[in-house]
């Protein structure tokens, strides 16, 4: 199951009220959840998927296997202590992206830095994952030219 912001889909129905919707308890609150694969169109391609869910990033990715195949770029804020709250790790998150054919980078000192899928993040870090199935040369060249 995966977190998704409450919003209306093309049929003007709230995704979180679908039959497959469920909840997860966070502290004293119950939060509705739904898989991205169940809420987003099965035919659309996505340029960017931005995920910032305070440690539940691996859960989001696990519920987005179809979306990941059709997504050029995934941006994720990664922080190991938050991931541990959900019995996850940055290593598992990066390995999942790597197994879905993404090149992994972070942004440091105005430079795109390649990441190994075993990197851990004791400080908060943004991960940029570029899908190898799409031509990313335009993005990489923009970043490299910015670095000069």
Q: pLDDT at position 8, please?
A: 39
Grouping H, G, I as helix, E, B as strand and the rest as coil, residue 71 is strand
Is the whole-model pTM more than 0.85?
Answer: no
Give Rg (Cα) of the chain.
Answer: 16
Query: What would the mean pLDDT of 122-132 be, rounded to a whole number?
Result: 84
Q: pLDDT at position 97, please?
A: 94
Write out pLDDT tens, residues 66-121.
999 989 999 999 888 888 888 898 889 999 999 999 999 888 788 888 887 666 66
Q: Which of 110, 82, 116 is nearest to 97 (CA)?
A: 116
Write out pLDDT tens, residues 20-74.
447 767 677 777 778 888 888 777 788 889 998 888 899 899 999 999 998 999 9
Q: pLDDT at position 129, please?
A: 92
Tokens of 136: 């990313």
* Distances from the Cα of 61 to the Cα of 2, 66, 118, 148, angstroms: 8, 10, 17, 34
């Amino acid at each position: 199951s995966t977190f998704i912001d409450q919003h209306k889909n093309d049929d003007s129905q709230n995704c979180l009220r679908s039959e497959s919707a469920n909840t997860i308890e966070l502290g004293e609150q119950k939060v509705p959840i739904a898989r991205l694969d169940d809420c987003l169109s099965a035919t659309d391609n996505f340029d960017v998927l931005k995920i910032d869910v305070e440690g539940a990033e691996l859960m989001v990715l696990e519920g987005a296997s179809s979306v990941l195949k059709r997504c050029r770029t995934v941006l994720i804020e990664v922080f190991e202590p938050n991931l541990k709250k959900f019995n996850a790790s940055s290593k598992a998150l990066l390995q999942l992206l790597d197994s879905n054919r993404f090149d992994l980078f972070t942004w440091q000192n105005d430079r795109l830095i390649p990441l190994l899928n075993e990197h851990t993040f004791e400080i908060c870090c943004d991960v940029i994952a570029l899908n190898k199935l799409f031509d990313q040369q335009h993005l990489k060249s923009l970043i490299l030219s910015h670095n000069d």
